[in-house]
Amino acid sequence: MTKKIKIFGVEIPLLSVVLLSVFAALTVFIAVGQATKGAELVYLEKKGDSLISQNKELASRLVMDSSLAKVSEAASGSGMVKPEKTVYLGASAPSVAEAR
């Protein structure tokens, strides 16, 4: 004979009540786990967006810092000057290797 429990005036087998309670507990456990994963996903998406914007900012700063005007300014600040005249050596001009 199976044991029965009276709930709200209805007799229900004890095994059914236990199984229903276990099912409800598992459902709550899974729901909490999914909510946690959802919050983690939102955090990672925000972090990814932040990293993308930082990457864009760094790329923009790299382009600005490597522009010819910026390089020229840094070179003149180091004491370098633009040459006034450029001399090209041709094949007929003597070189150091021929001086031996």
Would you say residue 55 lies in a domain? yes
Cα distance between residue 76 and residue 74, in whole Å: 6
Domain range for 69 is 4-79
Backbone angles phi, psi at 94, to 5 degrees: -65, 145
**What local confidence, expressed as pLDDT, does residue 42 receive?**
94
Would you say residue 69 lies in a domain? yes
Question: 10-13 and 4-7 as β-strands: parallel, antiparallel, unpaired?
Answer: antiparallel
Would you say residue 96 lies in a domain? no
Predicted TM-score (pTM) of the model is 0.48
**What local confidence, expressed as pLDDT, does residue 52 receive?**
97
Domain tally for the chain? 1
Would you say residue 44 lies in a domain? yes
For the stretch 13-57, pLDDT in tens is 888 889 999 999 999 999 999 999 999 999 999 999 999 999 999
Would you say residue 33 lies in a domain? yes
Tokens of 61: 């700063």
H helix or E strand, kind and range, residue 13: strand 10-13
Note whether 89 and 96 are within 8 A (CB).
Answer: no
**What local confidence, expressed as pLDDT, does residue 85 receive?**
87
